Amino acid sequence: MCGIFVYQGPRSDAAGIVLEGLKRLEYRGYDSWGLAVPGSDGLKTERRVGKIGAVSANDGPIAALNPSNVAIGHTRWATHGGVTEGNAHPHLSCDGKVGVIHNGIVENAEELKAELLAGGHVLASETDSEVIAHLIENLLRDHPLPEAVRLAFSRLRGRNAIVVLSASAGKVLVVAKSGSPVVIGIGGNESAPEYFVSSDMPALLAHTNRLVWLGDHEMATIDGSLKFASTSTGEPISRQSEIVAWEPEQAERGEHPHFMLKEILEQRDAVQRAINQPPALLDEVAAVMRVAQEVCFIGCGTAGAVGRIGTYLFADIAGRATSAILGSEFKNYRHSLHERTLLIAISQSGETADLLEAVDIALARGSRVVAIVNVPGSMLTRKAHYTLLVQAGPEKAVASTKATMGQIAVLGLLAHACAGQAAHGHALLTNVASHIDALTTPDYMGRVARLANRLAGEDDLYVIGRGINYPVALEAAIKVQEVSYIHAEGIAGGELKHYAIALIQPGTPCIILASNDDARAEILSNAAQVKARGGMIIGVGPEDNPIFDEYLPVPDGGGLSPLLTLIPMQILAYYLACARGNDPDMPRNLAKSVTVK
Ligand code: M6R
């Protein structure tokens, strides 16, 4: 969940380069941050609590870290120990010569701490991460840095990624990974190469698009060249670099006040790119689906809601029964998996720990796995048998918008391919995408913003849908919750009378998703039940209705309506966050990639 950024190369302003890299990564974790460079008798560090925000490379203590050709940096999302300067990374060994930045959770940290304390080490922080620096310090007595790191790393339980800098080893960096993502960027030229390490690929794009993803149980030593080895055996391994087509500007905010707004506005193009899947790959995945005995969508958070939307799309378009399970719940179903189970794993990052664990479980049972994922090269793409890339480009706001739309579009296309109607599906999706612009005009956005201002003081908000609009309501509620912090719930219209109508009081805001589908009459009747209890009805759909107190029009998207209905919900969430003074890009307590369990 934390962010790692590292530089080694000919430039002497390594601390400044890493500081800028950390700013690009701040969406991954933003409670504290820190940097380290080698000094004459140990590492020099600067650690601070809070967001990096406007801190510049000219800031006194940061500038004092340069000149240096190497620097390691970290933004933290606290797991073990409070948000304090002392708990911020890098963590140092007792002699101050070994510095470690860490992403993940050392599950056996308490055991290792006890051993280190008994051996005379003094631990300065409450974190699980610090033990790594002390373990390496011990091992450096008998081993060179790469081997000391390998041996220390082998003792850690859990899904971890570390970068280690040692004052005694000069510019040498050692990177190791067993779960959390790490990507190495290679820049400069043949005679003066430069190396970057990051937990997240978009942060590297300003410097290079030549990248190497480190696999699990792999390590890299960067000493002016790049060498790879297995963390289990120490044996050298070979790894090829890949060129990624994402442009650096795509990862910048530009003129927009927030990434979330920028990404909402990019959704027409995102949907259009998502449906341009390689035809042969699409056919192959559709064929695998047709022969599968069971098909199950898995995802977490928003991607979990997308999976549920997928079950409706496949039933409606391909006449195919499928199921949807949250990544974190999937292990409970492991005994039902076999070779003819097909798992469709949905993810923006491709690095979500709960999802990757579910995929591992399915692979171990011989099941097939298709990934629908936005980030090329991510762990999920490496585990899956087939990958349909969403191609939404870098998504930096914590709240997923354009990647979500891309995932839904891919599912819509795949459902049509499964029904033997890929070309028809492509045409329908292109038509739906063409209506997205109507939902992002200044007039329309202003209308949603006014509604947000009206609702900004509410404590509770319900989003009610039937049919495919039920999972759309779940996703709408996720968006509202995560950025506005208003308690929001998605409710199936049919369930209201079973329990949820008890929540309705005079004035309770209820968003009614009323598409032009066969659920419309019933959802309007639900709206009437809510209105009879004094609820405030906000209608969303292609047709206005006298029962609506407020109305957000949405073009008719037919069977692909989620691609349109969700957009005003995302915009509403965004403006609610702004109206309540929240930062929609970095909502409290959340991080973009949930790489810990
Ligand atoms: O990267 P993933 O799509 O696998 O992430 C899954 C969830 O963590 C993610 O969808 C989360 O719920 C978002 N913040 C929602 O906007």
Q: Is the pLDDT of residue 13 over 90?
A: yes
Q: Is the pLDDT of residue 254 over 90?
A: no
Which amino acid is residue 23, in one-letter code?
Answer: K
Read off φ and ψ for residue 391, nearest 5 degrees: 60, 35
Peptide bond into 67 cis (omega under 30): yes
Q: What is the mean pLDDT of residues 108-132?
A: 96
Predicted pLDDT of residue 253: 87
Please tell me the distance from the alpha carbon of residue 309 to that of residue 324, in angstroms, as a whole number: 9
- Write out the two tokens for 549: 């107190």
Please tell me the distance from the alpha carbon of residue 231 to that of residue 210, in angstroms, as a whole number: 23
Catalytic center residues: 2, 592
Predicted pLDDT of residue 591: 80
Read off φ and ψ for residue 589, nearest 5 degrees: 70, -5
Strand partners, 160: 104
- Write out the two tokens for 326: 């949250």
pLDDT, tens digit, for every residue of 308-327? 999 999 999 999 999 999 99
Predicted pLDDT of residue 592: 79
Contact (CB, 8 A) for 408 and 562: yes
Q: Is the pLDDT of residue 124 over 90?
A: yes
CA dihedral 279, 285, 287, 290 (to 10 degrees): -140
Contact (CB, 8 A) for 517 and 560: no
Distance, C-alpha 421 to centroid of its chain: 32
CA of 302 to the centre of ligand 1 (A): 5
CA of 401 to the centre of ligand 1 (A): 10
pLDDT, tens digit, for every residue of 516-535? 999 999 999 999 999 999 99
Q: What is the sign, positive or negative, of the torsion defined by CA atoms of 66, 68, 69, 71?
A: negative
Lowest-confidence segment of 7-11, 251-255, 354-358, 376-380 by average pLDDT: 251-255
Predicted pLDDT of residue 145: 97
Q: Can you tell me which atom of ligand 1 is nearest the CA of 349?
A: 1
Please tell me the distance from the alpha carbon of residue 24 to that of residue 562, in angstroms, as a whole number: 31
Q: Can you tell me which atom of ligand 1 is nearest the CA of 355?
A: 4
Residue 177, classified by CB atoms within 10 Å of its CB into exposed (0-12), middle (13-18) or buried (19+), is: buried
Q: What is the sign, positive or negative, of the torsion defined by CA atoms of 38, 44, 48, 51?
A: negative
Q: Can you tell me which atom of ligand 1 is nearest the CA of 303?
A: 10
Predicted pLDDT of residue 132: 98
How much of the chain, in percent, has pLDDT values that exceed 70?
Answer: 99
Residue 185 to residues 194, 212, 276, 473, 597, Cα–Cα distance (Å): 8, 6, 28, 40, 27
Q: What is the mean pLDDT of residues 241-249?
A: 83
* DSSP E strand stretches across 126-201: 160-166, 173-177, 183-188, 193-198
Predicted pLDDT of residue 82: 82
CA of 382 to the centre of ligand 1 (A): 19
pLDDT, tens digit, for every residue of 260-281? 999 999 999 999 999 999 999 9
> CATH 3.60.20.10: which residues of the chain?
3-248
Q: Is the pLDDT of residue 54 over 80?
A: no
CA of 549 to the centre of ligand 1 (A): 32
Contact (CB, 8 A) for 540 and 565: yes
Look over the chain and give the mean of its residue pLDDT values, rounded to a whole number. 94
CATH topology classification for 3-248: Glutamine Phosphoribosylpyrophosphate, subunit 1, domain 1 (3.60.20)
CA dihedral 150, 154, 156, 158 (to 10 degrees): 110
Contact (CB, 8 A) for 465 and 492: yes
CA of 419 to the centre of ligand 1 (A): 29
Q: Can you tell me which atom of ligand 1 is nearest the CA of 380?
A: 4
Determine which residue's CA is closest to atom 4 belonging to ligand 1: 347
Predicted pLDDT of residue 29: 59
How much of the chain, in percent, has pLDDT values that exceed 90?
Answer: 85
CATH topology classification for 438-585: Rossmann fold (3.40.50)
> CATH 3.40.50.10490: which residues of the chain?
253-434, 438-585
Predicted pLDDT of residue 27: 67
Lowest-confidence segment of 27-41, 172-186, 430-444 by average pLDDT: 27-41
> Shortest CA distance to 18 belongs to which of 1, 45, 2, 36?
36
pLDDT, tens digit, for every residue of 171-191? 899 999 998 889 999 999 989
What is the pTM assigned to this prediction?
0.85
What secondary structure does DSSP assign to 383-409, as a single string? H-SEEEE-------SSS--HHHHHHHH
Please tell me the distance from the alpha carbon of residue 534 to that of residue 503, in angstroms, as a whole number: 11
Determine which residue's CA is closest to atom 14 belonging to ligand 1: 399
The top-scoring range by mean pLDDT among 188-192, 253-257, 387-391 is 387-391
Read off φ and ψ for residue 335, nearest 5 degrees: -70, -15
Q: Place 76 in a pLDDT band, splitting at 50, 70 and 90.
A: confident
- Write out the two tokens for 219: 């390590």
* Ligand 1 pocket mutation, candidates 180, 352, 475, criterion most atoms within 8 A of CB: 352
pLDDT, tens digit, for every residue of 327-359? 999 999 999 999 999 999 999 999 999 999 999
Neighbours of 571 (CB within 10 A): 26
Determine which residue's CA is closest to atom 16 belonging to ligand 1: 399
**pLDDT higher at 548 or 591:** 548
Q: What is the mean pLDDT of residues 141-149?
A: 97
Please tell me the distance from the alpha carbon of residue 268 to that of residue 555, in angstroms, as a whole number: 14
Contact (CB, 8 A) for 519 and 469: yes
CA of 273 to the centre of ligand 1 (A): 20
Q: Is the pLDDT of residue 160 over 80?
A: yes
Q: Is 583 helix (H, G, I), strand (E, B) or coil?
A: coil
Q: Is the pLDDT of residue 28 over 80?
A: no
Q: Can you tell me which atom of ligand 1 is nearest the CA of 300?
A: 6
Predicted pLDDT of residue 57: 83
Q: Place 1 in a pLDDT band, splitting at 50, 70 and 90.
A: low
Q: What is the mean pLDDT of residues 380-399?
A: 95
Q: Which CATH number applies to 253-434? A: 3.40.50.10490
* Ligand 1 pocket mutation, candidates 302, 378, 592, criterion most atoms within 8 A of CB: 302
CB-based pocket (< 6 A), ligand 1: 300-303, 347-349, 352, 355, 398-400, 478, 482, 590, 593-594
